[in-house]
């Protein structure tokens, strides 16, 4: 973690108690770091890096504190994004979109699902060509929000909630949403490239695996305990390759894209942070587009 800089009186460090205290939001977590505004104990997940020390989420939302002028720099997340009043808003919106599309699929039936699922190139019952190769590019995105089975959406949304609660506060809204969408499309692109053209696939698993890969990168960067995450990743990879009916291509495509994007986001040098972060996103997206164009050319 970067050493915070101080004011004219010398470098300032996070306040430390005489022995560890418990995070005010997570009482089960001991910590020696306190908010430099309200002096409450905060754990690494809750601390928000600022120009002076670390702040707790409540003080960031209120925007109050002694010794901080109105013109002070707005506190930033670990990856440099602005701290939001609701650090989980994008995750909640993504959950809502997935549930809404699932409800629509449940109400409208197979025809709705057939129109939005990922298909490379196929012939529908009327004899019409359909699929990404026939110009239906939207399927690469809509399939990421589409589910048919209750167990499928339940597993994906539980994973989204768990991973999103860790990643969104650390990355910030824009970076987190960019990571999610590119990972999802990258998973669709690898499925489009390697799966049979007439094989229909759907689900948010590519995006979820992108979040999982990013969480591993973030945890390693922040020196968190890695064993639970590595175990979770290994278990998911075993399920990916040995559970029947799973589009492993989407999982691997999302995982690789998410990990690469996260590396660019959490390791970017502070002085060129935005350039490196969004440049990494652009490179991953460009590689995804090349895959899609190449596969389309092969199929047509």
Among residues 40, 75, 110, which one ends one of the domains? 75
pLDDT of residue 76: 81
Q: What is the pTM of this model?
A: 0.77
pLDDT band at 50 (very low <50, low <70, confident <90, very high): low
86-89-91 Cα angle (round to 5)? 135
Q: In this structure, is residue 205 part of a structural domain? A: yes
Query: Total domain count for the chain?
Result: 2
Q: What pLDDT is attached to residue 70? A: 39
Pair 36, 111 in one domain: no
Half-sphere exposure of 21 (CA within 13 A, CB side): 16
In a domain, 80, yes or no: no
Which pLDDT belongs to residue 73?
Answer: 52
CATH of residue 247: 1.20.1540.10
Give the pLDDT mean for 89-116: 94
> Do 118 and 202 belong to one domain?
yes
Residue reference for tokens 């013109």: 71
Tens-digit pLDDT profile for residues 143-169: 999 998 999 999 999 999 999 999 999
pLDDT at residue number 86: 87
Q: pLDDT band for position 51 (50/70/90)?
A: low
pLDDT at 4 over 70: no
For residue 52, name the pLDDT band (cuts at 50, 70, 90): low
Active site residues: 205, 251
Per-residue pLDDT at 13 exceeds 50: no
* pLDDT-above-70 percentage for the chain: 88
pLDDT at position 54 is: 77
Domain-ending residue, one of 75, 107, 126: 75
- Are 48 and 119 contained in the same domain? no
What share of the chain in percent tops pLDDT 90?
Answer: 57
CB atoms within 10 A of CB 151: 8
Is 94 a residue whose pLDDT tops 50?
A: yes
Q: What is the pLDDT of residues 207-234, one digit of tens each?
A: 999 999 999 999 999 888 888 889 989 9
Q: Does residue 167 sit in the same domain as residue 284? A: yes
Average pLDDT of the chain? 85
Domain with 123, as residue range(s), is 89-299
Strand partners, 130: 122
Q: Are residues 2 and 140 in the same domain?
A: no
Say if residue 142 is in the same domain as residue 30: no
Query: Mean pLDDT over residues 167-190, rounded?
Result: 95
């Amino acid at each position: 973690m970067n050493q915070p800089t101080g004011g004219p009186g010398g470098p300032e460090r996070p306040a430390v108690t005489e022995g560890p205290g418990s995070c005010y939001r997570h009482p089960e977590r001991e910590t020696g770091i306190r908010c430099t505004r309200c002096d409450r104990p905060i754990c690494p997940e809750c601390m928000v890096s600022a120009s002076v020390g670390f702040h707790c989420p409540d003080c960031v939302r209120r925007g109050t504190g002694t010794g901080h002028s109105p013109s002070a720099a707005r506190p930033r997340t670990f990856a440099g994004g602005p701290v939001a009043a609701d650090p989980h808003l994008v995750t909640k919106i993504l959950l809502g979109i997935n549930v809404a599309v699932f409800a629509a699929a449940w109400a409208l039936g197979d025809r709705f699902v057939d129109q939005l699922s990922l298909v490379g190139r196929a012939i529908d019952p009327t004899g019409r060509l359909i699929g990404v190769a026939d110009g239906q590019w939207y399927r690469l995105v809509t399939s990421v929000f589409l589910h048919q089975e209750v167990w499928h959406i339940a597993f994906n949304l539980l994973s989204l909630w768990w991973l999103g609660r860790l990643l969104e506060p650390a990355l910030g809204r824009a970076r987190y949403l960019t990571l999610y969408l590119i990972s999802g499309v990258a998973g669709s692109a690898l499925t489009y490239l390697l799966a049979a053209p007439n094989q229909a696939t759907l689900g948010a698993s590519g995006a979820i695996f992108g979040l999982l890969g990013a969480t591993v990168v973030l945890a390693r960067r922040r020196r968190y305990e890695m064993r639970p995450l590595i175990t979770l990743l290994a278990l998911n990879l075993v399920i990916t390759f040995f559970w029947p009916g799973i589009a492993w291509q989407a999982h691997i495509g999302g995982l690789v894209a998410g990990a690469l994007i996260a590396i660019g986001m959490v390791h970017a040098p502070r002085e060129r942070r935005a350039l490196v972060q969004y440049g990494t996103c652009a490179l991953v997206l460009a590689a995804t587009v090349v895959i899609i164009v190449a596969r389309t050319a092969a199929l047509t």
